[in-house]
Structure 1
Amino acid sequence: METITAPPANRELHIQGKVTNAYREVLTMDALSLVVDLVKQFAPERRELLANRQRRQQAFDEGALPDFLPETKDIRESDWQIRGIPEDLLDRRVEITGPVDRKMVINALNADVRVFMADFEDSLSPTWDAVVQGQINLRDAVNRSIDYIDPNSGKHYQLKDDPAVLICRVRGLHLDEKHVLFAGEPIPGALFDFALYFLNNYRQLLLNGSGPYFYIPKLQSHKEAAWWSKIFSYVEDRYCLERGTIKATLLIETLPAVFEMHEILHAMKDHIVALNCGRWDYIFSYIKTLKNHSDRVLPDRQQVGMGQPFLDAYSRLLVRTCHRRGAMAMGGMAAFIPSKDPAENEAVLEKVLQDKEREANNGHDGTWIAHPGLAHVAMGVFDKTLAERKNQLDITREGDEEITAEQLLAPCQGTRTESGMRLNLRVAVQYIEAWISGNGCVPIYGLMEDAATAEISRTSIWQWIKHGKDLDNGQIVTPELFTQMLSEEMQVLEQELGELKYKNGRYAEAAELMKQITLDEQLVEFLTLPGYRRLD
């Protein structure tokens, strides 16, 4: 392990991890100086924002429900618009998402999509090597010099002439970067990701006719959005850039945030261009926020789709809110993976088609996919809907009835089944195993799973246990039933995976972590927090 420090004036910053010559190209003194300044200026407020999350959650745990804020009513009811949207972000009809490994970056930028969201968050297991190599990969992509030779096949991958627009998703506020210490403490992962991507790429991005664009995940309040806007303005001033050069799309993927969308857009109006329906994290947040409310327990994960009234209301409210303020409204993720079996693949494509048609009809300006094999379906839907338009900013939904808090919080209809619980167990264990092994984006049973979908799987079971809910076969979900099923499903996994792969993996460790966080009396806020302690 090698330790390097920031410039002489910033000896309190230490990087604890290997630093190769290639790593030094992105871990420059200028980049580290920016990291130091951002940590000094903004990390203290980040701690207060996280503490405020805990205070709000305590109120929800004691019986309160999220609602629109009375103190910001004037922002919701007054007329104002965001600053504007750059030309290369006006058409975002299909976006692909994925981690920042080199081959993925090339394939995603070459896919038949408008945007690639390069992800340092839910689809990345943030080992030190993955994080720093990811920054190198994005730098090379921005410079149009990225290529990759597959060591097995010898196939050469390189960028086409007109790649998709690149947007970088940084880590959430709750995540630290333990390999970078300031004054002996891990720094916020979000600030590290932002500083490195911005400083290493902003000049070239602007020369390319684009800009430093970011996706911001898991915000819970407009105060957190204001924190990001202050960071963006500080950096623009530091580097003599016009206000609004840095642009962001924020994911509305927490239940508290859906009640503050006007306020979030207002707090970031110089920098924001869109909100996105982060549906999987939103379902996870619904469970987590309302974990003590026994009348709002969700059914099997497979039954919680966008056709559910509370999710449809969320989608329509996001469209209406964004378009009123001149911002774009992005749809959610199709996590399906194309199947090699023709009949199965036809069923997959039909599900994707219906999902994307619902989003387009609701007025969304574009949508997400996780696999390039779905691009033609999603693109076809939005090409048909948009016709000659670049987006649907003209769809205001102003004639709709007001969407109420009651609709957004409505209990979800459906059943809890033994097969659904067993599937949750196998999915969560396989994902946790992959994540602690350094892979954050995993194909499991025909879906591209990331941290959000695994979170739904494990928190659903935790909530069923807490409230003693029954399955449709009459069994009560207890710690004993969970432990029995987990043991049985581990045997199923060993059979599915094969003895060699199972024993060479970290499945027993993953099962133990799954057991620990599911039986904990207090719901573990994010599985990635205990998981991160197991990463290099």
Structure 2
Amino acid sequence: MPLDHNAPPLPPVVLRAVPGAEHVLTPEALNFLAELQMRFGLRLHALMVARTRRQERIDRGELPDYLAGTREIRQGIWKAAPVPTALEDRRVEITGPVDRKMMINALNSGARVFMADFEDATAPSFANIIAGLANLIDYRDGTLEYMDDITGKTYRVGPVPALLIVRPRGLHMAEANVLMGGQPVSAALFDFGLSLFHCGRALAATGRGPFYYLPKLECHAEAKFWNEVFVYAQERMGIAQGSIKATVLIETLPAAFEMDEIVWELRDHIAGLNCGRWDYIFSYIKNLRNHPAYLLPDRSKLAMDEAFLATYAARVVKVCHRRGIHAMGGMSAAIPVKDDPQANDAAFDQVRADKKREVGMGFDGCWVAHPDLVPVAQAIFDADMPGPNQIRKPRQEWRIEPAMLLKPHQGEITEAGVRLNISVAIEYLANWLQGRGAVPIHNMMEDAATAEISRAQLWQWIRHGALVRTEFGDERRLTADWLGEMIQAEIVSILERIGPNGFHRGRYPSAARIVQEAATAETLPDFITTPAYDVLNALD
């Protein structure tokens, strides 16, 4: 693709001044962002329109299936480009927001990889995003440190940090604080472009990057889009082609049917696929929203070794190993429980069982949400995976039919499950609107994906008139009115816990309104974070 330097685009207009912006939004960096937006913005818009059209077909009854036109790719004998040395062993990865202190703790956690998450674990206020990008620059320069003003303790990156992988925001998101041609720029191109501009050459020079996680892809056309972005960006930045390596999160239902095709489109730049299990559950509900046959029970009943989740995980391993790349397991969201040894032991046992299942299936690595869980997961993988990975362990004996990827879990919908979804969604969104994207709730580290599951389940249960087992043992059909009563009860509970001043300062009224509107909308909203982002910007 030839480069055109004869007609440079106008630089983007930055609408908001935040600390550190002068360090990140340099004229040269903004010019590079403008080039990406000008070259790829219309293509990205067309891909988002295609998502809408695909969902309309599913709503009408055309269920997801393997693509007839790409059978040769699925059945062909081929492999992706070799995984670089730095990515050979990824047995434990820790994920977290791009907050300075949390980044340092994650880099020092003992995990092989740290995923710096600009997406689900970061509330995308402009201040948070710019601070995260500035932190990447300091990491590049070896100056990433943090002093706690309260304790006086200084945090610095140790001599053997985890390998850094950046997750930009999803293709559907916009960065409302930066305009080009009067329109917001793509949040995905913003995060990717600026992180690559500032850090790409330095990481490539050491063989430790630039590496990315790509979230929420829905089809191989979107993978092709990212591949072309990579090719252009590497040429523009003077980085050798193939230096960028991406791991694609398989966290949407349509993508589960196009894994081979996604790998094929990114074959020169792909390092693996990941089981983004929480977003995948949300996507399952969202894509099959019109079909009562796919009604799901309480979130607590959605075990990874059953129904559509078990099949999806098996297909990730099968496809990855056939194509010579890593199959990365999902997040264990349990976190240590202070002052409760019994609950703490239960949380650790839950993580051990989850990682034992993953390594036994053939996964090459896994995710944890807290530094204390790194040695727990590491011990499981060390015991059962003596080599750096299990890529050479094939899984071709697994025959996976399309219906298996759609099979719903069985189980009850309970009043306790409904109330838990209300509680998690409101509590998480209230924190998100205050700028926190990773939130401990009920001894779990919750991010945007679990809030999406919670409100999507509420919508699905109302839409299809689900019968709910009440706390008295009888059954009652869930309605918008009953949901409103339970949301009101949750608000009263929060008021009793933190008082009226804390209730309003904590953004709970806005959070409760967003959750109720999303759960009772005529059509299930694509993402609850889209209306919440408008509120976040207004509050910011």
Bin of the TM-score, shorter chain as denominator length: over 0.9
- Kindly provide the amino acid, as one letter, of the partner of residue 384 in structure 1: A
Could you tell me whether the CA contact under 8 Å between 1:274 and 1:330 is conserved in 2? Answer: yes
The reply on whether 1:380 has 2:379 as its aligned counterpart is: yes
SS in structure 2 opposite 1:486?
helix
Of 447, 467, 471, 1:470 maps to 467
CA distance in 2, matches of 1:362, 1:496: 44
Q: Deviations over 1:83-112 (max 9, x none)?
A: 111111110000000110100110000002
Which segment is superposed worse, 376-385 or 493-502? Answer: 493-502
1:221 and 2:225 correspond: no
Query: Does the alignment pair 1:179 with 2:180?
Result: no
> 1:471-496 CA deviation, whole Å, 9 max, x = no partner?
12311000111001110111122334
- Identity of matched residues, %: 45
1:524 aligns with 2:503: no
Match of 1:416 in 2: 413
Which shifted more, 501-510 or 38-47? Answer: 501-510
The residue number in structure 2 matching 1:145 is: 143
Q: Is the 1:80–1:325 Cα contact (8 Å) retained in structure 2?
A: yes
Query: Structure 2: 5+ residue runs without aligned partners?
Result: 1-6
Residue 430 of structure 2: which of 430, 433, 439 is its match?
433
Gaps of 5+ in 1: 1-7
Relative to structure 2, which stretch is displaced further, 498-507 or 322-331? 498-507
TM-score if structure 2 supplies the norm length? 0.96
Q: Is the 8 A contact 1:12 1:183 kept in 2?
A: no
In the alignment, which residue of structure 1 is the partner of 2:488? Answer: 487
Structure 2 distance, partners of 1:385, 1:75, is 32
| Deviation sequence 1:288-338 (CA, Å, 0-9, x none) | 000011010111111112122211111111001001001110000000111
- Where 1:25 maps in the other structure, the secondary structure is helix
Give how far 1:211 is off: 1.5
Structural mapping, 1:320-399, within 5 Å = 320-340=318-338, 341-387=340-386, 389-399=387-397
In the alignment, what sits opposite 1:459? 456
C-alpha separation in 2, matches of 1:9 and 1:63 = 46
> Residue 526 of structure 1 aligns to a residue in which SS?
coil
Q: CA deviation at 1:286?
A: 0.4
Q: Which of residues 238, 241, 251 is equivalent to 2:249?
A: 251
SS in 2 for 1:288: helix
> Is 1:177–1:188's contact at 8 Å kept on the other side of the alignment?
yes
Tell me the secondary structure at the aligned position of residue 533 of structure 1. Answer: helix
C-alpha distance in 2 between matches for 1:77 and 1:492:
56
**Contact 1:12/1:184 (CA < 8 Å) preserved in 2?**
no
Q: Is the 8 A contact 1:105 1:138 kept in 2?
A: no
Q: Which amino acid aligns with 2:184?
A: P
Distance 1:283 1:276 in 2: 14
Cα displacement (A) at 1:19: 5.1
8 A contact 2:18–2:127 mirrored in 1: no
Is 2:24 aligned against 1:26? yes
Q: Give the secondary-structure state (helix, strand or coil) at the position aligned to 1:422.
A: helix
Distance 1:420 1:299 in 2: 9
Which residue identity does 1:97 align to in structure 2?
Answer: T
CA distance in 1, matches of 2:8, 2:57: 43
CA distance in 1, matches of 2:497, 2:84: 48
> Aligned pairs, how many?
527
Distance 1:44 1:489 in 2: 43
Query: Could you tell me which amino acid in structure 1 is paired with residue 65 of structure 2?
Result: D
Name the amino acid aligned to 1:479.
A
Distance in 2 (CA, whole Å) between partners of 1:113 and 1:358 is 19
Q: 1 CA distance for matches of 2:13 and 2:500?
A: 42
Query: For residue 514 of structure 1, what is the amino acid of its counterpart?
Result: V
Q: Are 1:511 and 2:508 counterparts?
A: no
Aligned to 1:120: 118
Distance (whole Å) between structure 1 residues aligned to residue 392 and residue 530 of structure 2? 42
Distance 1:479 1:276 in 2: 36
Among residues 154, 166, 169, which one is paired with 1:168 in the alignment? 166
User: Which letter maps to 1:120?
Assistant: F
Report whether the alignment pairs 1:234 with 2:205.
no
Task: For residue 9 of structure 1, report the CA deviation from its aligned partner.
Answer: 4.8
2:313 maps to which residue? 315
Residue in structure 2 matching 1:84, options 61, 78, 82: 82
Which AA in structure 1 matches 2:480? P
2:261 maps to a residue whose letter is E
Q: Deviations over 1:164-203 (max 9, x none)?
A: 0000000001100001100000010000001110010012
How many angstroms apart in 1 are the aligned matches of 2:315 and 2:412?
A: 27
Shift of 1:14: 0.5
Tell me if structure 1 keeps the 8 A contact 2:10–2:34. Answer: no
| Rounded Cα–Cα distance in structure 2 between residues aligned with 1:9 and 1:17 | 24
Q: Does 1:445 align with 2:442?
A: yes
Does the CA-based 8 Å contact 1:213-1:248 persist in structure 2? yes
C-alpha deviation, 1:205, in angstroms: 1.1
Contact preservation (8 Å) 1:331, 1:359? yes
Mapped partners of 1:308, 1:32: distance in 2:
47
Q: 2: distance between equivalents of 1:113 and 1:137?
A: 19
Q: Deviations over 1:406-429 (max 9, x none)?
A: 111002111100011001101100
Provide the C-alpha distance between the structure 1 equivalents of 2:504 and 2:24, rounded to a whole number of angstroms: 37
Equivalent in the alignment of 2:291? 293
**Structure 1 counterpart of 2:53, from 40, 52, 55:** 55
Instruction: Give the alignment partner of residue 403 of structure 1, picking from 392, 400, 405.
Output: 400
Q: CA deviation at 1:209?
A: 3.1
Provide the rounded CA distance (Å) in 1 between the counterparts of 2:504 and 2:40. Answer: 45
Following superposition, the deviation at residue 127 of structure 1 comes to 0.6
Does the Cα contact within 8 Å between 2:213 and 2:246 map onto a contact in 1? yes
- Separation in 2 of the partners of 1:234 and 1:484? 53
